[in-house]
Structure 1
Amino acid sequence: MSDPPDTLNHLMNIASPTDNTDTPHTLESLLQRTPPANVAAEQALLGAILTNNKAYERVSDFLQPSHFSDQINGRIYEAISRRIERGQLADPVTMRAEFEHTGVLDEAGGPIYLAKLMNAMVGIVNAGDYGRVIHDCWIRRQLIDIGSEVVNNAYGARVDLDGADQISASEEALFRLATDKGQDGGFVTFEHAMAEALNTAAQAFNRTGDIVGLTSGLRDFDKKTGGLHPSDLLILAGRPAMGKTALATKIAFSAAQALLREAEDKGEKPRGSVAIFSLEMSSEQLATRILSEQSEVPGERIRRGDINQKDFDRFVRVSRELQRMPLHIDDTPAISLSAMRTRCRRLARTKGLSLVVVDYLQLMRPAIGTRPDSRVLEISMITQGLKAIAKELAVPVIALSQLSRQVESRDDKRPMLSDLRESGSIEQDADAVMFVYRDEYYLQQRQPKDSAFESTDKYQAALEDWHRKMALVHNQAELILEKQRHGPTGTIPLYFEGEFTRFGNLDLDHE
C-alpha cells in the first residue's frame, strides 16, 4: 500500500503546527505549547512493520522506543523489535498473545487498537520517511527540554553552576544530542575503506619527502612517524623543566608555518590553523616564548626590558611576521572537555583546524555535569574525550602530560610508560606516547663540590670528569618515542638551546 503524494507533507505539518497570528510568542507561552509529536506517523509505521517486518529494517538503525511520543506506541515498537531481533515473525496474530499478557494495549482499547494500527499502515517504501518524522519530533522535544533546563538554571535552579559553567553544560547537552541522535556512524563498506587507504598511500607516494601528515618541524621525528596524522592522539610527557611546553610550542609553530607557506605558494589564505590550549601559561607568556625563539632575544631579557634598540627592532620586525601565522591560543584555566570540544568545532568551522595542542591534560576538567569517582577515572574521561575530538574533527591532538615523581628515585631517569600519572588510561587511549628528556639538566645538578672531597686533587679530577660529561650532552635532548601504534619506536636526538628555550634538529654527523 502506497501513500498519496501529500501524505508525508501532511504528517510533517501535524508535527510542526504553524501559528498564523502576528502576536509574538513569549518564552512562557512557547513552553506551554504542546510538544512536537506525530501520533499518526507512529501508528502508520507500526502498522507497516506488523504487515511487513522488512519495514523494520528501514528504521532499526536510528529509531528507538524512547523516540515515540506516545508511550504505548513506544512499548509496542519495543515488543515488535524484540521479536524481530530474535528472528521471529511479528504480526497481529503472533503479537496479540504477548500484548494481552503484558497488558500493553489495555490503555489504548485492547485488540481494537491493533486493528487501528493496521488500518493506518503505510507501504514499506515510506517506512523510513515516517521513522525520520518520528525521530525529528523526538529531537525537537529534546531541544525543548534542554531549553527549559537552561532557563531554569539561569533563574538559579543550579546554584552550584556559575554563568560560564551553565554555558558549558548547555553546550555539552546540545553536543550529546547532536552526536547521540542515532543517525551518524554505522558500517562503511570495505570498498570505501580501501579507497580511503589507497588515497592516503597515493598522497604519500606523490610527496617528495618522508612526510605524509602535517610537519612537526623536527626532521628525525617526521622520518620516524611520517608527520602528524589526522585522528591521532599523541601524548608528550616529561618531568618539570624538561621543556615539554617549549617542544609542543615548536611543533605547533612549525605546523602553522607550514600551513601558511603552503597557502602562500597557492596564492590563497591558509585553509587550516593550529589551536593551542594553554592551561598553565597565559597567551602573553606563550607569545613571548615564541617571539624569543624566533627573534633570538632571550625571554628573560624581554620581560625585564633589558634589550638594546637593535634587539627591540628585531623583536618588532619578527612580531609583525608572526602576526600572519594561523595560530590561535586559548588560555582559559581549567577548561572543561566540553568547552574545548565546542571551541575546536567552532574554529574548524570558521578558520579550519589542522592541529590541537593541549598544555596540559592534568589541568583539564571532564565534561560539565560529570562527577568521576576517582582521579584515574577523571583522567580516563579526559583522554577518551581528546581522542574523540581528534576523530570527530580528523585532526592530530597533542596533549602534554606530567610524569610521576618515581622517575627521580631511579639512577637512570629516562622516563617509561609506567611513569605517566594515571598511566593506564593515557597509555591505552594514545596513538603515540613520547617523552622529552635532557640528561644535561640532571648532570648539572650533580656538579662536584669541593667540600665533598678529601683533597684538592680529587676534587679537580672529579670536576674535570664532570666537565667532560657535560660537554658530551651540552645542548642535547632526547625525544623518546615509547609507543607508536602505526610505526616504530625509538629515541630521537634533538638540539636544545636553553637561552631561547628552543628545540631543533640535531646533526650528529657534523658534531
Structure 2
Amino acid sequence: MNDAARKLAPLAKDQADQHYREAPNNLEAEQALLGAILVNNDAFYRVSDFLKPVHLYEPLHRRIFEIAGEIIRMGKTANPVTVKTFLKADEKVGDLTVAQYLARLAAEAVSIINAEDYGRAIYDLALRRSLITIGEDMVNIAYDAPLDMPPQSQIEDAERRLFELAETGRYDGGFQSFNDAVALAIDMAGQAFERDGHLSGISTGIHSLDSKMGGLQRSDLIILAGRPGMGKTSLATNIAYNIAASYDPEVQPDGSFKAKNGGVVGFYSLEMSSEQLATRIISEQTEVSSSKIRRGDISEADFEKLVACSQMMQKVPLYIDQTGGISIAQLAARARRLKRQRGLDVLVVDYVQLMTGSKKSGENRVQEITEITTGLKALGKELNVPIIALSQLSRAVESREDKRPQLSDLRESGSIEQDADVVLFVFREEYYVKNMEPRDEFDPKYEEWKMQMEKVKGTADVIIAKQRHGPTGTVKLAFQSEFTRFSDLADPSFTQYEH
C-alpha cells in the first residue's frame, strides 16, 4: 500500500463510521418506562406533562404510549390486556407477538420511582435527534444555496426552529390532540381564578378596559389605532408600564419563571427614541409635566421625585428597541431572543406603518402591510404572547362631521382588520372641540362651546370596534394630557356602554 492509500484508509474508515451513525436513542429506557406505566398507571402522570408519543424513537413504543395515555385519561386501567386490543394482533416484535411483548414489558418493569428519570432521558434524546435534523437541514440548504432562501432568511428560519424546539420540545408544529387543548383551556381558567382581578388575560392596569376585554389574551393581535394627537402611543406606554410594574414571577417545577401577575414587556419604538419614551413614563408616574422635564423647568422637590421614580423604574422588566424601519423578520428574531434570555409576556409595536416587509419596494404598500400584520399574528401564536400593534387611521376621519373612527378608517385596512383579534380606537373629543374655540369670547356661541368643552375635558373614549372573544362597545377613560396618562374615571357609572 502506498503512502497516499495509507493516509486515505483511516479517512475512508471514519467516513464509513459516520455514514452508519445511528440517531441517538435508548430503547431500554423506553421499554422500562412503558413497563412501569403498564404495571402502575400513576407512572404516566409522572411524565405526561413533558413527554409526548413523538419523543419515543421506536414506532411501536410511540403507539403503546399513545394508547396507554388515552386509556388512562378516560379513567380506565391501561395494562397489557387492555392495550393489546388497540394494536394489530399479527404484528411481530422479533419472535414475539405484540401481546407477548406487552406482557414481557410489564414483567420486567422497573419501579415507578424511576419513571420520571427514564422519561427525561427519552425526552433529551428526542431533542438531540431534532437538533441533528435541524443541523442537517441547515448544512444541506447552505450547500444548495437556493435562490428563494438567501443566507439571512436561512438564519431566521433556523433561529425560529431552534426557538420552537427550546420552547416546546418539537419544531414541526403539527396537530394537537383535543385532550391537550381541553387541558390547556382548564389551566387557563385556573390561572384566571388565581390571578388578581380574575382575568383570563394579562391586566392592562386600567380596570374598565379589563372588564370589557378580560385582559390581554395570549397569542392575540391587538390593533390600537387613532389619528395623530389622540394619544395612542400614550395609551400603549401606560399599558406597557402597568404590566411591567406589576410583574410578579412564579418559579416553575423546571426552575424557569412564569408571570403570576403582570409580565415582561418588549416595546418596539419605531417613532420615538428610548429616552423620549422613558420621559413620558417618568412624567406619568411622577405627575411632573414632560415638557417641564425636557426644559429643565422643575423644582428641587420635582427633581427628587424624578430620581426616586427612576430608581424604582430600574427594576421594571420593560425592554425598549428603538430601531427605525425594522422588518417583520428582524422584529421576530429579536423577540425570540428576548423571550429566551429574559422572558416575554407582552409585545408592543409603535407603529405598524413604520415597519418594512421583505417585499421589494416596487410592490404596493397594501401587500407589504398584509405581510407585516400576518407576520405579527403568526409571531403572537409562536411566542404565545399578546401583541399590541399601533396603527394610523386614514384622513377620511377628518372630513366627516362625526369624527369617531370606524373599521374602514384603518390605513391599508383589509389585512389589519382581518388579522386583528381585537381592534381598539382611541378617540378624544376634547381634541376636536378645543380647535373649534370661537375667536371672540363675546361671541354668543362661546358659552355653548365652553359648556361642551367642560363636558369632554379630560376624558377619552377607547372604542372596541372588534373583539373575537367578547363584546364591542366603548370604554370612557380619564386622560391627563400634561402627564400623557390614561386612567379609570372617578365616577364608575360613567365608565362604559355597549353597542
Residues 315/134 of structure 1: CA separation in 2 closer, same or farther (3 Å cut)? closer
Residues 311/410 of structure 1: CA separation in 2 closer, same or farther (3 Å cut)? same
Name the structure 1 match of 2:402: 412
Q: In 2, are the aligned partners of 1:38 and 1:134 still within 8 Å (CA)?
A: no
Name the structure 2 match of 1:247: 235
% identical equivalent positions: 47
Name the structure 2 match of 1:144: 139
The DSSP-based 3-state class of the residue aligned with 2:436 is coil
Distance 2:337 2:22 in 1: 38
Q: Cα deviation per residue 1:129-174 (whole Å; 9 max; x = unaligned)?
A: xxx9999877445422565699x99xxxx9xx9xxxx7x5453242
Distance 1:508 1:224 in 2: 17
Residues 340/461 of structure 1: CA separation in 2 closer, same or farther (3 Å cut)? same
Q: Superposed, which structure 2 residues align to 1:152-167 within 5 Å?
A: none
Q: Superposed, which structure 2 residues align to 1:352-431 within 5 Å?
A: 352-367=343-358, 373-431=363-421
Name the structure 2 match of 1:281: 272
Name the structure 1 match of 2:330: 339
Residues 298/187 of structure 1: CA separation in 2 closer, same or farther (3 Å cut)? same
Q: In 1, are the aligned partners of 2:163 and 2:336 still within 8 Å (CA)?
A: no
Q: In 1, are the aligned partners of 2:138 and 2:154 still within 8 Å (CA)?
A: no
Q: Superposed, which structure 2 residues align to 1:209-358 within 5 Å?
A: 209-260=197-248, 272-358=263-349
TM superposition shift of 1:202? 2.6
Distance 1:413 1:485 in 2: 25
Q: Superposed, which structure 2 residues align to 1:79-98 within 5 Å?
A: none
Distance 1:371 1:135 in 2: 37
1:171 to 139, 149, 155: 155
Q: In 1, are the aligned partners of 2:160 and 2:333 still within 8 Å (CA)?
A: no
TM superposition shift of 1:210? 4.0
TM superposition shift of 1:466? 0.4
TM superposition shift of 1:204? 2.7
TM superposition shift of 1:201? 2.0
Q: Higher mean Cα deviation, 249-258 or 210-219?
A: 210-219
The DSSP-based 3-state class of the residue aligned with 1:291 is helix
TM superposition shift of 1:370? 6.5
Residues 331/136 of structure 1: CA separation in 2 closer, same or farther (3 Å cut)? closer
Question: Which residue identity is paired with 2:385?
Answer: V
Q: Are residues 1:501 and 2:488 paired?
A: no
Residues 285/184 of structure 1: CA separation in 2 closer, same or farther (3 Å cut)? same
Residues 372/398 of structure 1: CA separation in 2 closer, same or farther (3 Å cut)? farther
The DSSP-based 3-state class of the residue aligned with 1:499 is helix
Q: Higher mean Cα deviation, 501-510 or 431-440?
A: 501-510
Q: Cα deviation per residue 1:472-505 (whole Å; 9 max; x = unaligned)?
A: 0000000000000001110000110011111111
TM superposition shift of 1:443? 0.6
Q: Are residues 1:468 and 2:448 paired?
A: no
**Mind listing any 5+ residue stretches in structure 1 that lack a counterpart?**
1-16, 22-32, 42-56, 60-123, 126-131, 451-455
Q: In 1, are the aligned partners of 2:394 and 2:410 still within 8 Å (CA)?
A: yes
The DSSP-based 3-state class of the residue aligned with 1:313 is helix
Q: Are residues 1:481 and 2:464 paired?
A: yes
Distance 1:375 1:384 in 2: 14
Distance 2:362 2:185 in 1: 38
Q: In 2, are the aligned partners of 1:273 and 1:355 still within 8 Å (CA)?
A: yes
The DSSP-based 3-state class of the residue aligned with 1:488 is coil
Q: Cα deviation per residue 1:265-319 (whole Å; 9 max; x = unaligned)?
A: xxx9885410000000000100111011111111111111111211111111111
Question: Which residue identity is paired with 2:372?
Answer: I
TM superposition shift of 1:469? 0.2
Q: Higher mean Cα deviation, 467-476 or 268-277?
A: 268-277
Q: Superposed, which structure 2 residues align to 1:12-51 within 5 Å?
A: none
Q: Cα deviation per residue 1:107-132 (whole Å; 9 max; x = unaligned)?
A: xxxxxxxxxxxxxxxxx99xxxxxx9
TM superposition shift of 1:225? 1.0
The DSSP-based 3-state class of the residue aligned with 1:366 is coil
- So what's the TM-score if we normalise by structure 2? 0.67
Name the structure 2 match of 1:200: 188
Q: In 1, are the aligned partners of 2:134 and 2:158 still within 8 Å (CA)?
A: no
Name the structure 2 match of 1:29: none
Residues 398/137 of structure 1: CA separation in 2 closer, same or farther (3 Å cut)? closer
Q: In 2, are the aligned partners of 1:233 and 1:396 still within 8 Å (CA)?
A: yes
**Mind listing any 5+ residue stretches in structure 2 that lack a counterpart?**
1-9, 24-57, 61-97, 102-126, 495-499
Larger radius of gyration: 1
Distance 1:191 1:287 in 2: 45
Question: Which residue identity is paired with 1:398?
Answer: I
Distance 2:401 2:180 in 1: 51
Residues 288/259 of structure 1: CA separation in 2 closer, same or farther (3 Å cut)? same
TM superposition shift of 1:39? 12
Distance 2:340 2:489 in 1: 38
Name the structure 1 match of 2:48: none
Name the structure 2 match of 1:188: 176
Distance 1:409 1:319 in 2: 43
Distance 2:415 2:230 in 1: 23
Name the structure 1 match of 2:87: none
The DSSP-based 3-state class of the residue aligned with 1:306 is coil
Residues 269/391 of structure 1: CA separation in 2 closer, same or farther (3 Å cut)? closer
In the comparison of the two structures, how many residue pairs are matched? 375
Q: Are residues 1:447 and 2:431 paired?
A: no
Distance 1:18 1:257 in 2: 60
Distance 2:235 2:128 in 1: 51
Q: Cα deviation per residue 1:365-386 (whole Å; 9 max; x = unaligned)?
A: 124x767832111111111111
Q: In 1, are the aligned partners of 2:425 and 2:464 still within 8 Å (CA)?
A: yes
Distance 1:190 1:498 in 2: 49
Name the structure 2 match of 1:6: none
Question: Which residue identity is paired with 1:143?
Answer: M
Residues 142/318 of structure 1: CA separation in 2 closer, same or farther (3 Å cut)? same
Residues 465/19 of structure 1: CA separation in 2 closer, same or farther (3 Å cut)? farther
The DSSP-based 3-state class of the residue aligned with 2:487 is strand
